[in-house]
Amino acid sequence: MPLNFYKNPNWALSREGRAIPLYASKDPHSFSNRPLLLIGGVHGNEPEGVFLAEKTLEWIESYKGSHWPVPWMLIPCLNPDGYHKKQRGNAHNVDLNRNYPSSDWTSSYSEKKYFPGPSPASEPEVQAIVTLTSLTNPCLFIHFHSWVPCIVCTGNPAKTVALELAVSSGYAVTESIGYDTPGGLSRWGWHDQRIPVICVEESEGCSKETTWSHFGAAIQKILSSSELYQTLK
C-alpha cells in the first residue's frame, strides 16, 4: 500500500484568500531531520512549475516503499492568485521571488514584472515560507520555474542533487540565472540562511507529461535515496 503522508489543504492563504496546500512526509512540527522543501507555482505565468510539482505529488501518492527514506515537504502552487490570473506576480502584482527578506532586498526594480513589494516579506505567500523555514530548517530548497531551460544551483552542498536533475533532463547546471535577483529565494536561502537552493528552469510550453519525462527520474531519486540526502548534510 502507498505510504501515508501529511496533508494540509489550507496550510496558508494567498493575498486573495485562496488556499495554499502543503504536503510533507510527516507533520512539519515533528521533523527530527532537516527536510527538503519543493515549491511550484512561484510565478503564476509559469505553469510548467506547477505541472512538475503536481506530477511529483502523483508519484508520492503512489510510492510503495516501507518508509520515507528522505524527509520532504511539497507546495504544489505557492502563488494560486497569479496562477488563476495567468500572471507572474501575486494579486498585488508582487514578484514573490523578489519579496524574500534577504539582506540584499531593495525597493528598486528595473521592470514592472520584478516589483518586489512595499517591504521585505510583505506578501502572505512569502511570509508562509519564512515561517515554515523557521519551523523546519530545510536542508535544501528546490523551486520549479520555466524560462531558458537550466538548473541553477546556489550553494555547494546542493551540487550533487543539481547534477542528478541535469542528468535526468539534459539541461546544464549553472550558478547564476544571468541577472541579479535581490530578494530572491536563492539570495535569502543561501546567503542569509545558509540553506542551498536549486532553481529548476523548464522550457516554456512543455506539457505536464513532457516536464515529468525530463525531471521525474531525478525527483524520484532525490526523494527516495538516503545516500543522496546525506550529501546535503
87 sits in which H/E element: none
Whether residue 1 is contained in a domain is answered as no
Decide: 98 and 117 in contact? Cβ < 8 Å. yes
| 52: helix, strand or coil | helix
Question: What is the per-residue pLDDT across 62-96, written as a single tens digit (0 to 9) for each?
Answer: 999 889 999 999 999 999 999 999 999 999 999 99
Q: Is residue 103 part of a domain?
A: yes
Q: What does the alpha-carbon distance between residue 164 and residue 71 come to, in Å, rounded to a whole number?
A: 18
Does 162 fall in a domain? yes
Q: Provide CB contacts within 8 A for 72, sequence distance 6+.
A: 24, 25, 35, 36, 37, 38, 223
Q: What domain count does the chain have?
A: 1
* Residue 114 falls inside a structural domain: yes
pLDDT at 233: 80
Residue 109 lies in a domain: yes
Type and span of the H or E element at 10: strand 6-13
Q: Is residue 79 part of a domain?
A: yes
Residue 167 cell numbers, joined: 542528468
What tens digit of pLDDT does each residue of 18-72 get?
Answer: 999 999 999 999 999 999 999 999 999 999 999 999 999 999 999 998 899 999 9
CATH of the domain at 14: 3.40.630.10
Residue type, 48: E
- pLDDT (0 to 100) of residue 17: 98
Q: How many C-beta atoms surround the C-beta of residue 167 within 10 A?
A: 14
Residue 180 has pLDDT above 90, yes or no: no
What is the per-residue pLDDT across 139-161, written as a single tens digit (0 to 9) for each? 999 999 999 999 999 999 999 99
Domain of 172 in residue numbering reads as: 6-230
Assigned domain for 126 exists: yes
CA angle (171, 59, 89) in 5-degree steps: 60
Question: Angle 208-224/47-62 helices, nearest 10 degrees?
Answer: 50
Please state, in angstroms and rounded to a whole number, the distance separating the CA atoms of residues 128 and 133: 9
